[in-house]
A and B are shown apart, each in its own frame.
Chain A
Amino acid sequence: MPLTVNGADHPTDGLDPAMPLLWVLRDVLGLTGTKYGCGIAQCGACTVHIDGVATRACQVALGDVRGPVTTIEGLGTPEAPHPVQAAWIERQVAQCGYCQSGQIMQAASLLAEIPDPTEEDIDAAMSGNLCRCGTYPRIREAMRAAARAMKGA
């Protein structure tokens, strides 16, 4: 069964079905926007959407992927960013930026589900995503801004 990533089908013949989706994306497909941080679902840097649901790509074996995958590259582009990405740019959230693909994918998933999240909703959804640079205050600001922008859209 082919793997659908960002709308494109990729053959999986010959690939190890035990290989986590994270490494298929990075080492096989060259989609390096999705990051490796811990390998045990503790940091969230590898967060992608599978069938629209935020998922830790380090925990899903290739053989277990059911549904289309969206990565940070498929969410938006530098030329046409997703509203969450636009808010991240406008608020200049990133420092090292390494966790931000995962943060953005997690935030986009929350806002798709709950367009007007409370602070508690944000806490619950985002606390699995680790940022070692300490960009949390701006992540919070950018999420509020993105929620406003998406409501207005």
Chain B
Amino acid sequence: MGRARTIARRGFLIGAAAIAGGVAFGVWRFKTPYPNPLLADLPEGAAALTPYVVITKEAITLITPRADKGQGAVSIQAALIAEELDVDLDQVRTEFGPPDRAYWNTALSAEAVPFRATDRGWLAETARGAMAAPMKFLGMQITGGSTTVPDGYDKLRRAGAVARETLKATAARLQGVDLASLTTERGAVILPDGTRLSYRSLAAEAAQTEPVAEVTLRDPADWQLLGKPMQRIDIVAKSTGTQGYGIDVTRPGLLHAAVRLAPQGAALRSFDATRAKAMRGVEKVLPLPGGVAVIATSTWHAMQAAGAIVLDHGPSPFPPDMAGHWQALSESFDSARQDSRFRDAGDVEEALAGGADLEAEYRAPYLAHAPLEPLNATVLYTPERVDIWTGTQVPRFVQRNVAAITGLRTEAVHVHVEMIGGSFGHRLEDEAVRHAARIAMAVPGRPVKLTYSREEDMTHDFPRQIAMARGRGRVAGGRVEALDLAIAMPSIVASQMGRQEIPAPGPDLQIVAGAWDQPYAIPHYRVTGYRAPELAPISSWRSVGASTNGFFHESLLDELIHAAGSDPLEERLRLCDHAPSRKVLEAVAEMSGWGTAMAEGHGRGVALCLSFGVPCAMVVEVSVTPDGIRLDQVHVAAEVGRVLDPVNFDGLVKGGVVFGLGHAMHGEITYRDGLPEQTNFDTFRAMRLYRCPEIVVRGLENGDRIRGVGEPPVPPAAPALANAIFAVTGTRLREMPFDRQIGFA
């Protein structure tokens, strides 16, 4: 880590820079992908030139600035660079790199504008470009929104190509040979006579070479790594217990800490730590904003003592019980709370003037992120500098916030990003790191690791939004003629960005994401978002707004299709006005044998949801057994433009399906007296192996743009399951989790 960090701190690199014994390539000159006059006035510093490749005599290091929480981000970022650099993955080291605005996420902005992902018109593209400017200006070094691949697809390959061409130019200069006569292979420049000059041997000289700025990216047909099955860089370590995560960080003289926190948003009046202070191993008890910390000789002793602290706190600033939360949503379907109506085709009012054929209300609960690695951060504070070891998706926020807490300059805050044991959006929040920084300030010069107990992690999560939807529609002649969907939820973006003190003006697209932007041409079609008041603080949860809205939209559409007496898949195909989306529907129809007879007690359901630019269709097959509904098989197809690693793609899609199905069946966070009732995996139930169906995955490559697939398989899972259960039982499930209403085998 050391060298790369030192380099980046000098500021924005232009081209290559000499470092002790080697060279760092800063390569990527910001270019807007489309002509965009709005970007012309960008400040000078925002033309970020980013270091991704560091070569020394000893090693080739690739910087992979997007966090890896299990999605394989390190491997795919490394492969994108390596493909053009001409190195094999076993020849390189990887590092997450430091927090630096140069690592801003280009692709996040695509999700922040009110244009359907299928809209490639001038206005839509201009708006996307315009959003990129503030994203870049803020230096949004964020991992999320399934953007790692779309963000890195060009710029990481370009980074590899510039480094490769500069190394070739170096070799040409040193050897006095024609540049065009040189080739590269497996980390070496090959001279015309076959002599191999390793990149590492060229490193020091390469730093003196004028970098080659103009490069041509290789045709995908010539790829050596991308598009083929890869072995993930971390797979051996993760199969042998040797992968280090944030929770495994150790430092000489490490102390251990745990917290006992008041309910979220509640004021801590006082606390009694008499018992805790007398417990074995306890070194220190200290107050935090909204809680108390214990420093002890082991994590377990710290947790035991933290559990023995008695808190006296005020109420949480949201309704104490669920009835109050649902009432707040119910009351939000009001013009004064209308947040958006980006979809308003035909004349819905007119079409429904004679009454609706169907009206329904749907609900989705709060859900914990609950990755298996609890929140943790290790911090070493001294009056001069602070070092933080933690898994985070927002290293720049961490740096800024810890600087504010410690009073140190941001340059003195050193964030070492660690591998993350799952996130699903949990590590977009940094409250635990802020607590850890305060704890470390109580023991200057001593490193201290804060580990949340599972109970603190679950009860102080910023959960998935609670949401409610009301739908109605009209059918005629076997066709869906009108669909009117209204969705109410608190603003995720306002809650999340509010904790970072970043304003989020305008409508919150997440309130309607996965509903307003669906690829259907229904004659009278309207989707309205209502912004409920802030309730429990919420955050992004795998697939964000679409995690609830995909369920609402695709359940309502399915109900209408059944009301019309049509086939759920055929009518969707008839309504679909987006060719790549039609193809994923056709794929799952073929894979599942849709339309073929099924045995008595067996049924199929289909759903399609376009989220994060990816149309993903799913057919779920269930059967009725004496023990309840059994999930037999799932067929899923997703269109991502290009599949870069078929093995990881297959795994990520399966994981998304399991996540979507598991949380449709089980799991919710409910508040009682202002506290979550679920505190651990005994009460927060999740998918277990015995309930996991067989899953068959197909990746399609018909789209014109590359996309990430971490989130898109989640939204269609719940409605496909509900639609299958309806098909076989006639029971329409309109509220998650389904196991409140129906048993599963």
Contact = CB atoms under 8 A, between A and B. Distances in A.
- Which of A75, A88, A97, A98 has the largest count of B CB atoms less than 10 A from its CB? A97
B682 A42 contact: yes
Contacts of A96: 69-70, 371-373, 420-423
A92 B372 contact: no
26 contacts: A16-B281, A19-B300, A23-B300, A26-B299, A27-B256, A30-B250, A32-B250, A39-B453, A42-B680, A42-B681, A77-B242, A78-B237, A81-B236, A81-B240, A92-B651, A95-B652, A95-B655, A97-B238, A132-B424, A134-B655, A134-B659, A135-B654, A136-B692, A139-B689, A140-B689, A140-B692
Interface residues of A, number: 61
- Which of B374, B655, B689 has the largest count of A CB atoms less than 10 A from its CB? B689
A99 B183 CA distance: 44
A146 to B, nearest CB: 11
Contacts, number: 185
Nearest to A123: B690
Given A35-B247, A95-B71, A101-B241, 19 more contacts: A22-B300, A23-B299, A33-B241, A33-B242, A38-B680, A39-B454, A72-B241, A77-B242, A78-B240, A88-B239, A89-B239, A92-B235, A95-B70, A95-B652, A97-B70, A127-B688, A134-B658, A134-B687, A136-B658
Nearest to B654: A137
Interface string B348-390: 0000000000000000000000111110000000000000000
Interface in A1-33: 16, 19-20, 22-23, 26-28, 30, 32-33
B658 A76 contact: no
Given A16-B281, A76-B240, A98 B299 contact: no
Given A16-B280, A28-B298, A89-B239, A40 B373 contact: no
Interface of A: 16, 19-20, 22-23, 26-28, 30, 32-40, 42-43, 45, 71-73, 75-78, 81, 85, 88-89, 92-101, 104, 122-124, 126-140
B451 interface: yes
B442 interface: no
A26 B373 CA distance: 14
B144 to A, nearest CB: 15
User: What class of interface size applies to chain B in its complex with A?
Assistant: 35 or more
Contacts of B692: 134, 136-137, 140
B647 interface: yes
B451 to A, nearest CB: 7
A97 B375 CA distance: 16
Nearest to B373: A98
Given A134-B655, A136-B689, A137-B694, A35 B421 contact: yes
Given A16-B301, A42-B682, A95-B70, A138 B371 contact: no
Nearest to A139: B689
Interface of B: 69-72, 231-232, 234-245, 247-248, 250, 256, 280-281, 298-301, 303, 370-374, 420-424, 451, 453-454, 647-648, 651-652, 654-659, 662, 680-682, 686-690, 692, 694-695
A40 to B, nearest CB: 6
Contacts of A133: 70, 422, 655, 658-659
A85 B240 contact: yes
B299 A36 contact: yes
Nearest to A128: B688
Contacts of A129: 689
A98 B422 contact: yes
